[in-house]
Structure 1
Amino acid sequence: MPTSQNSAILNDGINHPNIDDVINEPSFFPEAYVSLETIKSNYASLSSFVTSAETSAVVKANAYGHGMAEVGTALLSAGCRTFFVAYLSEGSALRKALGSEPTIYVFNGIRSTEITAFSESNLSPVCNQVSDIASALQLDQRIGFALHFDTGMNRLGLSQGDMSEIADHIKARPPNLVMSHLACADLPGHEMNAAQLSRFSQIKSDFPESKASLSATAGIYLGEDYHHDLVRPGIGLYGGGPARPAGIKLTPALTLTAPILKVFDVPEGETVGYAATFQTRRPIRVATVSLGYADGYLRSAGNYGFAVLDGIPCPVLGRISMDLTTIDVSDLPAAPRPGDRVEFLGKQAGLEIQAEAAGSIGYELTSRLGGRIRHVWGE
């Protein structure tokens, strides 16, 4: 009998499981479960804290690894009407997912070659240089645009020195939004915050017809003076970010688990992993897990990160490999078995704790989660 790649009967005459089902068996893959209800709850909590301003949503980088289309759709149903992405391609994909209703701003500006694409997807560019403004003004009058001013970050944005040239461009058509970005909002006592607020207040006074926006997640926590007309939470929507006021309750929305492939004992004095960076000081039990840096788990987590199984932390041993991570399961009351899933991010393995262990931040951990990780969305 001829066979094909998808045939369930091979030439040995035995009725085998469907090959596609075997290849795609979820238990063999790392999995990211995303609670959309949690994201909606986080949005509601941030919105209730920002009583005088609109709360938008930053969903760039695939919604920080949580799934841009799914998260955007959930937030639209929760009342969000303004979204931010980084690239034209992200904006076009989000427009297809959300329909014509919401405003979608593209942080990284607009080039003359992109005018048609912006128009077709009804996307609003964030202008970071004068040439962006010239391109934005060629869009249909119904499509708004934003001006982004650099007030101290020294990264991207218009300068106050550009003001006379900007004024010439926008005499007949003011921007819908004037914005800036805080450099040190996660350090509430830093003098840069007040300095940037003062500079931004001066700038926005030149645009009385435009809405103003200064704060992302951490800036929201600095208080009402920083809220203006619109705030732009990103990491807070997903339950991460810096310490927050008592009035804001946020919960991590993503749970990352991966299956154990092998459990084995290692005697005292042996090493684990590439370059022998970990050496046992006593006999230990080790589990090899199907998760590596190709999946987005940071290589810097080697010897510092951790997983959690049955509520018990299991330290990462040695270097993170491309596809595998080894963990110490010696403290578990019973040896785990291949197929058991361990948590790397979630309610037990906190996002920011795991990030600190890897010498990183929650933004990087979630946004790096790779294509081999199965994403599942639910309540």
Structure 2
Amino acid sequence: MKTPLANGDEPAVPLPPPALRLTFDEDALAANWRALDRLSGRATAGAAVKADGYGTGARRAARVLWEAGCRQFFIAHWQEAPDVMASVPAEAVSVLHGPATDEEARYARATGLRPVLNSLTQVDRWLATGGGPCDLMIDTGMNRLGLRPDECGDARLQQLQVGTLMSHLACADEDVAANARQRDAFAGLLHRIPHQRASLANGAGIALGADYHFDLTRPGLALYGGVPRPELSPHIRQVVTPEAMILQARHVAAGDTIGYNATFTAQRNMRVGIVSLGYADGYLRCWSGKGGFVSDGRTLPVLGRVSMDMTAIDLGDSGIGEGDWVAARYDLPEAARTCGLSQYELLTVSGPRLRG
């Protein structure tokens, strides 16, 4: 029988014990930002915390980054703002998608968020709804968001209060001529629009050198343990690791198959663990027969198909069993090479049960 609260509300339902979790190393995240800030030279490093902090939890990530010294944050959608504003001041947050409607422009003014204006239509909308501090994106070759270079002389831009004038590198993780073309195009436009600071480089762009840093860099993946260019590898620490409980330990005889479509056949008698992690949690089917979990430094290979809520692993003679926890091998560069997903996907696909 439920006991009513004094104010008439129902009592809170107690939280169940978890069977899966995403471990989060706050010290590693802070250290990664400090390293990227240092590698940015005379520029300052900001932080992309879009996509719920690249799947790690934006509220927590923003808090850790703010405490580490970061003062410029970038999200994609307006819906992402409340979580980030719970940890940092609204005026420190830029919304990359800009105000596509008057309602979004009014929301920016009401909250103090900085819209990133991406078109002359958005410039008109921002000015018509009262204007104020904003950022401005110039498209120097990605053909995604931003003003065309031939629009940068428009007189309306002189009315803006531009904090960050930015562009975005399309191929910073590769050694291609397009990087220098974008850098030179961006540098050639800076004098045309009044602004407080200029920003071009993402995390990979930081590794391209000082000519790409300008005043502000905008790392994302590298903050959370990804390595978009090998030059960054010595400076980046792993931040998150999926962990899950073993639901059942079972014996499988030689010749028996495991999982959907019987893609794995035991060649010997085996001791198998069923782990409480599957593709609904972001541990996708690409790990089938390729992934591995770790216990006490020992790798326990994935057997057969990953299913929605469970994954089978070879326990060998490890001695672990039901109720014990194992950690997925999830060093992002290595994991990407193993499963075929990008490091970005590996971070952002984590499901609500894993993050919750």
- Counterpart for residue 131 of structure 1: 121
| SS of corresponding position for 2:24 | strand
The alignment's TM-score, normalised by the length of structure 1, stands at: 0.85
Alignment check: 8 A CA contact 1:115 1:138 kept: no
Aligned mate of 1:275, from 261, 267, 285: 261
* Pair 156,291 (structure 1): closer, same or farther in 2 beyond 3 Å: same
Q: Name the CA distance, whole Å, in 2 between partners of 1:133 and 1:96.
A: 28
* Pair 196,291 (structure 1): closer, same or farther in 2 beyond 3 Å: same
CA shift for structure 1 position 136:
2.4
- Counterpart for residue 286 of structure 2: 300
Q: Name the CA distance, whole Å, in 2 between partners of 1:297 and 1:246.
A: 26
- Counterpart for residue 369 of structure 1: 350
- Counterpart for residue 146 of structure 1: 135
1:25 matched to 2:17: yes
In structure 2, give the amino acid aligned to 1:336: I
- Counterpart for residue 179 of structure 1: 166
Count of aligned pairs:
348
CA shift for structure 1 position 152:
2.0
Alignment check: 8 A CA contact 1:301 1:359 kept: no
CA shift for structure 1 position 342:
0.7
Alignment check: 8 A CA contact 1:306 1:354 kept: no
* Pair 247,310 (structure 1): closer, same or farther in 2 beyond 3 Å: closer
Q: Name the CA distance, whole Å, in 1 between partners of 2:232 and 2:348.
A: 27
In structure 2, give the amino acid aligned to 1:367: T
CA shift for structure 1 position 139:
5.4
CA shift for structure 1 position 322:
0.9
Aligned mate of 1:115, from 83, 87, 105: 105
1:34 matched to 2:24: yes
Q: Name the CA distance, whole Å, in 1 between partners of 2:348 and 2:246.
A: 24
For residues 298-327 of structure 1, give each alpha carbon's deviation from its aligned partner in whole angstroms, at most 9, with x where no partner exists.
222112222112212222122211110111
1:63 matched to 2:53: yes
In structure 2, give the amino acid aligned to 1:344: A
Tell me the C-alpha RMSD between the 2 structures. 2.3
| SS of corresponding position for 1:205 | helix
- Counterpart for residue 320 of structure 2: 336
Q: Name the CA distance, whole Å, in 2 between partners of 1:36 and 1:140.
A: 39
Aligned mate of 2:240, from 254, 261, 264: 254
Alignment check: 8 A CA contact 2:152 2:193 kept: no
Aligned mate of 1:104, from 93, 105, 108: 93
- Counterpart for residue 9 of structure 2: none
- Counterpart for residue 156 of structure 1: 145
1:229 matched to 2:215: yes
- Counterpart for residue 8 of structure 2: none
| SS of corresponding position for 1:307 | strand
* Pair 309,39 (structure 1): closer, same or farther in 2 beyond 3 Å: same
Q: Name the CA distance, whole Å, in 2 between partners of 1:357 and 1:247.
A: 18
- Counterpart for residue 356 of structure 1: 337
* Pair 250,278 (structure 1): closer, same or farther in 2 beyond 3 Å: same
Q: Which ranges in structure 2 are unaligned for 5 or more consecutive residues?
A: 5-11
Alignment check: 8 A CA contact 1:95 1:121 kept: no
Alignment check: 8 A CA contact 2:197 2:215 kept: yes
In structure 1, give the amino acid aligned to 2:310: L
CA shift for structure 1 position 290:
0.1
Q: Which ranges in structure 1 are unaligned for 5 or more consecutive residues?
A: 7-18
For residues 98-135 of structure 1, give each alpha carbon's deviation from its aligned partner in whole angstroms, at most 9, with x where no partner exists.
235x5210011112221221111111111222211122
CA shift for structure 1 position 356:
2.5
Q: Name the CA distance, whole Å, in 2 between partners of 1:221 and 1:162.
A: 30
**Larger RCO (CA within 8 A; separation ≥ 6):** 1
Q: Name the CA distance, whole Å, in 1 between partners of 2:292 and 2:144.
A: 34
